[in-house]
Amino acid sequence: VDMKRLQRQIEFLIECERLKTVLRQNSLIHEARRENSAEHSWQLALMAMVLGEHANEKIDSAHVIKMVLIHDLVEVYCGDVFVYDVAAREQKKEHEEAAAQKLFALLPEDQRGEFHDLWREFEEQRTIEARFAAALDRLAPMIANSKNSGGTWRQHNITEDRVRSRTKSIQDGSKNLWQYADQLICEAVRQGNLKSLDSR
């Protein structure tokens, strides 16, 4: 066994472990603390295992699983950007490409391409697998918010129109999941957990 190669792979994994310390905006459903990006990634992978049949086209679910497992890895250098933070999102792309270069360079040369390609596939949204993965990524915090009396929608005074414009792309991956997401939005509005007009 090439112990230098194995050592290198383990160093990459140790760096990736920082994802457990990156906090997202939304809270957990069953505990009053913010979610971290590692447990979020696990949840998306489990969603891919359970919900794969709802994709608009037949998907390679193993490919979706791998994509969601690594889609947030660059946050170990960049942190998480809140989906409604418009200013921060503008600089995001550049920073994240640099972070991907730096992080995947820790891997042995013959493995870098696979990881970088998978990460880029998610970013570019050109395949059905990438669009389905993004649909799961959009849907997960909506479920948390709907179980948490509005959660980040309420905290940040996000209105229905903004939620719809940020989440409607769910239908590009799954019309079924969008139908479900639409129900969550309507319910949240009805319950007063999401404002239907901009009241800032």
Binding site for a copy of itself (CB under 8 A): 1, 3, 6-7, 9-10, 12-14, 16-21, 28-31, 35-36, 38-39, 41-43, 45-47, 49-51, 54, 62, 65-66, 69-70, 107, 111, 115, 143, 147, 175-177, 179-180, 183
Return the number of the residue (5 or 126) whose C-beta is nearest a copy of itself.
5
For the bound state, the minimum distance from the C-beta of residue 90 to a copy of itself, rounded and expressed in Å, comes to: 29
Return the number of the residue (6 or 98) whose C-beta is nearest a copy of itself.
6
Return the number of the residue (47 or 188) whose C-beta is nearest a copy of itself.
47
Residues 6+ apart with CB under 8 A from 121: 67, 127, 129, 130
Show the beta-strand stretches assigned E in the chain.
23-27, 34-36
For the bound state, the minimum distance from the C-beta of residue 85 to a copy of itself, rounded and expressed in Å, comes to: 24
For the bound state, the minimum distance from the C-beta of residue 192 to a copy of itself, rounded and expressed in Å, comes to: 22
CA distance linking residue 17 with residue 13, whole number of Å: 6
For the bound state, the minimum distance from the C-beta of residue 194 to a copy of itself, rounded and expressed in Å, comes to: 18
CB atoms within 10 A of CB 197: 7
Q: What is the DSSP letter of 195?
A: B
Angle of the 160-167 helix axis to the 128-147 helix axis, nearest 10: 150
Return the number of the residue (14 or 98) whose C-beta is nearest a copy of itself.
14
Determine how β-strand 23-27 pairs with β-strand 34-36.
antiparallel
CB 25 within 8 A of CB 33: no
Q: What is the DSSP letter of 28?
A: P
CB atoms within 10 A of CB 176: 16
For the bound state, the minimum distance from the C-beta of residue 57 to a copy of itself, rounded and expressed in Å, comes to: 15
For the bound state, the minimum distance from the C-beta of residue 94 to a copy of itself, rounded and expressed in Å, comes to: 25
Return the number of the residue (174 or 195) whose C-beta is nearest a copy of itself.
174
Return the number of the residue (76 or 83) whose C-beta is nearest a copy of itself.
76
CB atoms within 10 A of CB 31: 8
